[in-house]
Structure 1
Amino acid sequence: MEANFKHVSFEEMSGIDEDYDKECKYQVSQLIELEGFSAAQALYYHNLETNPDVKEPKVLVIVGPGINGGDALVAARHLKFFGYDITIFYPKRPKKEMLENLTLQCENISIPFIESLPEEFGSDSYDFILDGIFGFTFKGEIRSPFKEIIDQIGASGIKIVSVDVPSSWQCDEGNVNSTYTPDILISLTAPKKCSEGFSGVHYIAGRFTPKFIVDKYGLSVPPYEGCNQFGKIN
């Protein structure tokens, strides 16, 4: 099915974000809440479909310093309310009120934060890693400490769930840094060009996107079911 879906470029996604702001009047914090909740829903239903006997999956949420990190913090909070066993690794915390508030919301529901990744950890440590390090705006080389972190999670053998794009991939060019390929990708609003040819499980979280944006950019809309904010395309 994915071959029939439009994959948007960096320029197109930047325009969509601008329309969310200027035309839809979405506040950044509101959009992050919608995105993070949608990502949490996608992972919840994926586990329900593939591992129904695992009622409280262990998820390591790795949070980056930007908007993608905010999405991950929101997803962590909702997954905790869904009954998941959540741990957060947030290695570089910017002094931004919105992100500080999202962090506090996780702390208030007793989600533990760890200071570093274990030297050795594998598939028996967690059921999933939720990758919220970098988003579609990432460009260039990976800098420390994220290079070491990305290398370590790629070698862990744990199922990796990337939010929007796999961290360190570039929106149009793809995996130019030769890092890992996730098992599951949860694209936000629309799949990016970097995911063309992606053969893993692929969801789109974006039922919050108004029809005029869908029409303006020629976006493909996945088959949403019920009250879910996400659809599966691969």
Structure 2
Amino acid sequence: MQARSRSIHLSVHIHKNPAAMAERAAHILAAACEEAVAERGVFKIALSGGQTPIPLFRLLAAHDWADRLPWDKITFFWVDERCVGPDHPESNYGLARREMLSHLPVTHFFRMRGELDPVKAATMYEEQIRADFNIGPNEIPRFDFMLLGVGDDGHTGSIFPNSPALLERKRLVIDQYVPERKADRLTLTLPVLNNSRCCMFLVTGKEKHAVLSKTLNLLDEPTLPAQFVRPAVGDLIWVVDEAAATGE
């Protein structure tokens, strides 16, 4: 077997506004999907929540884009979830359903069950991933695409600064209480993110400039969760607006 390179294939795309970002992100996602379907017959993507991906979700659900992707060959997972029901306003699954999935012929998706006991929900989701990827107890799934965001504190997914999740190396999915948010969360772990073929961050707003600058400095010793997202063999893509890039 060929040894895996530790080099990072990093690219940064700066656009005037979130609408232009969404267009760029859609083209990147579509290219990754085309390659995955051609090589493996399926495209496996994990989505994040928050406000930043909404323009992308809406674009993909719009008429111009809805016919471009083979939705029957795409399987959706989630990077993280709030421990609420699917109809709750804060549900990451609910957001994706309202803004995109309900408008498309999507048939393959596996949501994190935030309405269940967090420990049980994390275990169930890990079991679901292992079954879908057909991997053993010591293997890490290789997603085709991770759609990520970053908070102004440097968190990504539901991996927050100083979280035990930063040290997790065996589990695929963990539950944790996040003191900063006074809430329980479910999240994929760093080994899963870093085994992906592509991790794409979407970042908007001048308040993200400081954390963006720190995270993009690959020579800096990682301290923030987003800095630890460095795919071992894959692409690391940042699509940002001018406000985040310049701080103005």
TM-score bucket of the superposed structures, by smaller chain: 0.3 to 0.5
* Bigger relative contact order (CA 8 A; separation at least 6): 2
Higher strand share goes to which structure?
2
Normalization by structure 1: what TM-score? 0.45
Normalization by structure 2: what TM-score? 0.44
